[in-house]
């Protein structure tokens, strides 16, 4: 009768390392939210100084487009750093294999 593969033992998670990575991520995201507000304000000032009237629809589109672009871009890049700093990249690189020394 065929034998099933043994269930690998659970790894001891490094919670302190992961918590520190997430804490740094949220600190960076707070700064990036502030940066997004500044960039939106600068883009609205630029539109206003162009000399033509700025309709409310254009203001809303500028706020949503510029603000969300900055936040999504920095959020995704920040998640790459979280993945790297929390040790999840090394775990994925091993392919779920268990080291003999653990």
pTM equals 0.69
Q: How far apart are CA 7 and CA 43, in angstroms?
A: 56
Q: How far apart are CA 33 and CA 10, in angstroms?
A: 38
Token pair in block for residue 38:
């500044």
Average pLDDT value for the chain:
84
Average pLDDT (90-101) is 61
Residue 99: pLDDT above 90? Answer: no
Cα 53 versus chain centre, distance: 36
Q: How far apart are CA 2 and CA 5, in angstroms?
A: 10
Question: What is the model's pLDDT at position 83?
Answer: 86
- Measured between alpha carbons, how far is residue 42 from residues 4, 68, 93, 95 in Å? 62, 15, 42, 46
Select the more confidently predicted residue: 30 or 102. Answer: 30
Residue 79: pLDDT above 50? Answer: yes
Share of the chain above pLDDT 70, in %: 80
């Amino acid at each position: 009768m065929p034998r099933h593969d043994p269930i690998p033992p659970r790894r001891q998670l490094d919670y302190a390392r992961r918590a520190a990575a997430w804490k740094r991520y949220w600190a960076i995201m707070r700064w990036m939210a502030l940066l997004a507000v500044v960039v939106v304000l600068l883009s609205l000032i630029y539109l206003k100084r162009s000399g033509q009237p700025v309709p409310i629809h254009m203001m809303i589109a500028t706020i949503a487009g510029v603000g969300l672009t900055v936040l999504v871009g920095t959020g995704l890049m920040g998640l790459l750093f979280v993945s790297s700093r929390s040790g999840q990249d090394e775990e994925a690189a091993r392919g779920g294999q268990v080291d003999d020394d653990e």
